[in-house]
Amino acid sequence: MKEIKHQFSFPHPPAVVWEYLTDAELLAQWLMPNDIKPVVGHRFQFKTKPRINFGFDGTVYCEVLEVVPNEKLVYTWKGGMSKEKPLLDTIVVWTLTPTAEGTILQLEHKGFKGLKNYLPYFIMNKGWAKIGKRLFKKMSAV
């Protein structure tokens, strides 16, 4: 399994659910502090608990890829020890479907790749040994 999928039904029209996905304050009430805007190309961040021993400093870097008001929202979801070298490079897709009772909200979180996908990068990158050591030091310090 390389992706996550969840579906929830809400007794509210899509427009209401949409607000909770795209308004920074409403989104922060249930997800995490953020500076989202439903504008394609907008870059924003979420702040969460770091998982240092896992190579994650707690900041999620996002960029809005697709906006269809009240229907669909897509953004990147990247994280790691820095913005430049994300260990986690994934995509979050929200889909809203109106029903007689309200809305079905579907979340897909996909694009998880393993170390294996980074092997060519490791092999090509001569600076890796240095990066690896630095990362190791950082992780050991915690």
Contact footprint for another protein (CB under 8 A): 1-4, 6, 8, 10-13, 16-17, 20, 29-31, 51, 54, 88, 105, 107, 109, 112-116, 119-120, 122-123, 128-129, 132-133, 135-136
Which of 16, 67 has the CB closer to another protein?
16
Question: Which of 41/123 has CB closer to another protein?
Answer: 123
Judged by beta carbon, residue 83 or residue 113, the one nearer another protein is 113
- For residue 142 the two structure tokens come to 């915690």
| Shortest Å distance, C-beta 39 to another protein | 22
In the complex, the smallest distance separating the C-beta of residue 74 from another protein, rounded to whole angstroms, is 15
**Do residues 123 and 132 make contact, with C-beta atoms less than 8 angstroms apart?**
no
Where are any strands of DSSP class E within 1-142? 4-10, 43-47, 59-68, 72-80, 86-98, 103-110
Residues 6 or more apart whose Cβ sits within 8 Å of residue 94: 21, 72, 73, 74, 105, 106, 107
